[in-house]
Structure 1
Amino acid sequence: MEDKKNYSGPLMIALQYNDLFDLDSTSTSTNTDVLPKGRAFTFIKAVQAVNERLVEQNKTESLLFEVILIAKECSEEIKMKIVESVKHYGLEIGKFFFYKKEELINTLQSNKVKLFLSTERDDVYEALHTGIPAALLYDQADDHVLNRLKVIFSGDVIGFSEDSLDSLSDFGFSETQIQTFKAAKICMKEFAVLIGQMRGRFGKENSPLCTCVLTSWGSRNVCASALKTLREWGVDVDEAFCLAGAPCSPILAVVKPHILWDGGLHNMRDLSTQCQ
């Protein structure tokens, strides 16, 4: 991982085209080249709002978000519509990549992606296991949501030390689950350090970037440890939630995050219902 003091942007984020545009509602009889807005549209707008504020403060700012759009196994017609739709909506997309399904990881690695976002949970899980920072794109379909980028980090993953993670086997966690936690924590740190650096460009009030911690099943001590770790990584947390086993959905419905970094919890059967 690059030293945060020496890192110069952009902070590369990869997004899948079927999250940015709603292909399910596209009629084959429609002649328009513009695709309907999808679940990631408010995310893109929020990212652009952060970039605009950063440039307003410093015209030579180098630590900016850059979004690349990736698409797998789509027709030439859809490819053209994707490009035209990006232009139509005025979206700031750095690059387009069209790839075969098995080329996902290579595409992310070759572009030095700092965060891969997707609503396809298996893709997020696969990326994490290969060391690529990845998180769930939380469903944000409401256009009226203010252009403020909200990121939620999992306190359950961050709050456990290396030794504590190993001890989870005593509580019924498999070796695969524990390794997922470890991989997720390493990946999460790389992105969190950069987000912390970016968040530090703004004051406490009226920031276009909001960082949160959500501890769903860990204790208060785990939540406190997560907050301490994030401070050590240089992240000032705006909001913290310690649920101690309570369902996540009520909090998520209020906070409405764009990025939900749960470290692979969504693929663990014994925990998956807590964040639905």
Structure 2
Amino acid sequence: MADNLGEKLIIAISSRALFDLDASHAVYEKEGLEAYSRYQIEREDEPLPPGEAFPMVKKLLRINDSLAGENRVEVVLTSRNSADTGLRVFNSMQHYGLKIERAAFCGGASPYPYVTAFGTHLFLSTEPSDVRQALEQGIAAATLVSRKGGGDDQGQLRFAFDGDAVLFSDEAERVFKSSGLEAFQDSEQAAAHEPLSGGPFKPFLAALQKIQQEFPATESPIRTALVTARSAPAHERVIRTLRAWNIRIDESIFLGGLDKTEFLRAYQADVFFDDQQTHCDSASSHIATGHVPHGIANQ
């Protein structure tokens, strides 16, 4: 009998985000599909190296152990491989003890339709076109842009989010882009008691909070932070918006335009989501970073 996916936190992740497939992809680009298939089949018993999102996935799956084995977190693998060439991916998951049972191998096609079918809260991929299509379907999605290698897969899982165009809509950012900082601050002060509309990552943040609420506050395996370029007086609307949504975020850092990277390192973020490519570029050499191609900054 199938599990009830509706009660779980569902994360869909591409094979190239979970494992380091750079060597395999180089064979595909230089020699073509047939050589790539042969390369993977010949090495299907050789585990793939961990990829950028591997530590995050390990921490996510460990949450189920903290809940006495109750599977409240589900990780689904998506891949443009065929099942034949994807056998190496399955074998690698077994080698590392990753309890991933569901997968979609799409034989060269985009996996994003299955991301929707699985009821996904978050989709992580290295293919920007797949990420954009998932976002268009209302799913929180990001392109992993960092290549810093594997990180710590122990301890608390720490998510960091930008605000405008990620947790919130880009309505305020549009004012900033069109009219400048002063007009943005005036507009946000005037609308301080009007909650912002939700952005693409609002449902994911809400799903994370449901998991957090199953633990005492001091023992939660998940911690969340808002890391925003906003400053006073534009802070109030953000605080009141989260209050209106009845969503708690553990830490809120208002930087007033300062570079985010050192603050993300101080927070010890496992993964950081931002819509601005420049912010992602700055953070990506230190922290697993997901670019969210949403909002006016990406038009």
Per-residue deviation, 1:120: 4.1
Per-residue deviation, 1:213: 0.5
C-alpha distance in 1 between matches for 2:173 and 2:200: 16
* TM-score normalised over the length of structure 1: 0.74
Query: Which one has the largest radius of gyration?
Result: 2
Structure 1 residues 158 and 69 mapped into 2: Cα distance closer, same or farther (>3 Å)? closer
Q: Is the 8 A contact 2:83 2:107 kept in 1?
A: no
Per-residue deviation, 1:201: 1.6
Structure 1 residues 226 and 108 mapped into 2: Cα distance closer, same or farther (>3 Å)? same
Task: Tell me which residue corresponds to 1:197.
Answer: 210
Identity fraction in percent? 27
AA of the residue aligned to 1:208? P
* Unpaired segments ≥5 residues, structure 1: 1-6, 173-183
Per-residue deviation, 1:274: 5.9
Structure 1 residues 32 and 152 mapped into 2: Cα distance closer, same or farther (>3 Å)? same
Count of residues in Structure 1 that have an aligned counterpart in Structure 2: 249
Task: Tell me which residue corresponds to 1:265.
Answer: 276
Structure 1 residues 143 and 238 mapped into 2: Cα distance closer, same or farther (>3 Å)? same
1:179-229: CA deviation from partner (whole Å, max 9, x where unpaired): xxxxx934322222221121122222232111111103x233444433332
Q: Structure 1 residue aligned with 2:75, among 60, 67, 70?
A: 67
Structure 1 residues 239 and 22 mapped into 2: Cα distance closer, same or farther (>3 Å)? same
Per-residue deviation, 1:109: 1.4
Task: Tell me which residue corresponds to 1:150.
Answer: 158
Aligned-residue RMSD, C-alpha: 3.4
Q: Structure 2 residue aligned with 1:233, among 215, 233, 245?
A: 245
Matches for 1:157-172 after TM superposition, within 5 Å: 157=165, 164=172, 167-168=175-176, 170-171=178-179
| Residue 48 (str. 1) matches residue 61 (str. 2) | yes
C-alpha distance in 1 between matches for 2:77 and 2:169: 35
Task: Tell me which residue corresponds to 2:50.
Answer: 37
C-alpha distance in 2 between matches for 1:25 and 1:226: 44
Q: Structure 1 residue aligned with 2:265, among 253, 259, 269?
A: 253
Partner SS state of residue 220, structure 1: coil
Per-residue deviation, 1:122: 4.7
| Residue 134 (str. 1) matches residue 141 (str. 2) | yes
C-alpha distance in 2 between matches for 1:256 and 1:67: 23
Per-residue deviation, 1:18: 1.0
Per-residue deviation, 1:50: 1.8
Task: Tell me which residue corresponds to 1:99.
Answer: 106
Structure 1 residues 203 and 220 mapped into 2: Cα distance closer, same or farther (>3 Å)? farther
C-alpha distance in 2 between matches for 1:169 and 1:31: 50
Per-residue deviation, 1:242: 1.4
Task: Tell me which residue corresponds to 1:115.
Answer: 122
AA of the residue aligned to 2:48? L
1:208-262: CA deviation from partner (whole Å, max 9, x where unpaired): 111111103x233444433332343333222222122111222233334334232
Structure 1 residues 232 and 259 mapped into 2: Cα distance closer, same or farther (>3 Å)? farther
Task: Tell me which residue corresponds to 2:91.
Answer: 84
Task: Tell me which residue corresponds to 2:223.
Answer: 210
Q: Is the 8 A contact 1:152 1:213 kept in 2?
A: yes
* Unpaired segments ≥5 residues, structure 2: 28-38, 181-196, 285-299
Partner SS state of residue 185, structure 1: coil
AA of the residue aligned to 2:204? F
Partner SS state of residue 106, structure 1: helix
Task: Tell me which residue corresponds to 1:20.
Answer: 18
